[in-house]
Structure 1
Amino acid sequence: MQGVRLVNQIGVSSFIDADLVVDASGRGAPTAALFEALKLQPPETTTIHINLCYTSAVIELPEQATKNWKLVLTLNDPPRIGDRGVLVPMEHNRWMVTICQRGRLERIDGWDSYVSAFGELITPTIHDALRQAKPIEDLRQFAFPTSSWRHFERSPRLPRGLLPIADAICRFNPIHGQGMSSAALQARLLRDALADAITESDPVAALQQGFMAEVASVLETPWAMSTSRDLMFPDTHGPRPEHFQANVEFELAMFRAAVIDPVVHKAAMDVNQLLQPRSLLRSPHIMERIEETNGVRTGWSHPEVMTGSSTFRLRTTVPRG
């Protein structure tokens, strides 16, 4: 790498010299183009075909309709119900509302159809709120066909001076809201790798090596958490991790514990928000509380059973019926 060539809106190009180029361009097209130009083997990629569409709107809600809500999250119910919704507060009684629909990439046509779509969720909470809502902006809709992890950390070498980061390495289901947090953790890793590399004889090579040696540990938790629930649907195409069914059973048991045990609840939320490592969920004091709640000795604490997905999703509204 010698730098970056820029082309402005009127087609005039310029060149910026650089010893290091960090590709945070989202889908990583510049890195892919460079690999192709240099005739390098592209990185091994893990792909999960989820085929979803998420549609968002900004709305106004009367204050009495929100009941002092902090956030409303209605999750799906694999494999029976694939759609999920979220309602997030903004300022001045405005809220952002999103529905994520699996297995369909067609657009929702109009506000009435949008409100009706929420009626198909597992609980009626958001649908009932939207019936009192006033849309402020047009619907915004996005298709997201696949989650993908480009395993640059497994590549024999990167082009000198190139470092892909964030979505250029790993893109996962955006409905979980972990993309920016994952990118921030990788930025912190980059800072630490820079501090370690600066004293080396070849700091650029040391930086690339140091970052790639640790980036998988940063990505493992959000990747597992975002893909595990998608993989519960039989029509989702992608590799299931080892001990997948055991981990599904663990997730259900953890949910049952979290709804009545505040210690398990906090641990699960801390992991979900990437504040704590996923290993917290297999610590003895958490496992004991999960097993006590479920009334069985499960053996889930065995490390091999927990190497795959060990995620938690809390349904915050009351199920129908």
Structure 2
Amino acid sequence: MYLEYFQLKQEPFNIAPNPNLMYPSSRHKEAIGYLRYGLRGSGGFVMLTGEVGTGKTMVSRAVLGDLPDTFNVAYILNPTLNNIQLLQTVCESFEIPVEHKDDHKVLSDALQLFLIEQDKLGKSSLLVIDEAQHLSTQALEQLRLFTNLETNDKKLLQIILIGQPELQEKLNTRELRQLAQRITARYHLLPLTKDETFAYINHRVIAVGGSRPLFDKKSMTIIFQQAKGTPRLINLLADRALMGAYAKGQFFVDNKTTKQAVAEVLGGQLQARPQRNKKLAIYAAAILVVMTFSLMLAGYFFSGSL
């Protein structure tokens, strides 16, 4: 709706994980580097974790987009499956024909045969599992068994696990210690800093054809404070703010329009700034110390006068 008004080719803050719009922050570049390093090795598992909306899927797609044609890639988005369903989904994702799909051994044998044949053809096989924190302990153990098939110099199946911090906690349990030892590269993706948030917003605008900044510093500061550096929330707030500026006939987004966008997206009042809360706490503590010292001093003189 506002594209023509702001002379943009597409929506700059669409929440779909489009690698073409990815802002190359130091953390995202580092995450991509870790994943690429893990895939170049001969190990079985690579892990990427981060809070909701920090850009994990975007990073994984950027990595997958650069893989050579010698990679067979299977991508699983819904891992809330039991063991047999997981094995069925893996075979389907690799387009492995199986007659008896309810037979665990038949499925397992078909997968192993496929991996061996692809290795002979000079191809590598990669399984990517998003939202991996939802995998059960039994399913994760089955994935470990998948990687048991190997040659003298490499695993025939590499697996990227993408998930929220709960995935790290799950892999720290005793039951999954063998799997944890097979992770050759791991990275935890953190939210953007304030400066990165400013650069992120401007980058997305330029990436879709924008010829000038559309947000002033105050508006971007509000977005950073309310989104806490989380790219998905930044996108939601920035998109709504652009819509508000368009509706008001403004040529850029100001702080008033941004506050209104925050109220519409997040609801209620703006969250207080952490630094301000911290300063208030320090002032309150200082006052308490002074009052306590004064009372002690008064008590001393009073007892002395008696």
TM-score (norm 2): 0.26
The structure showing larger relative contact order (alpha-carbon pairs under 8 Å, at least 6 residues apart) is: 2
- The structure that is strand-richer by fraction is 1
TM-score (norm 1): 0.26
**Which has more radius of gyration?**
2
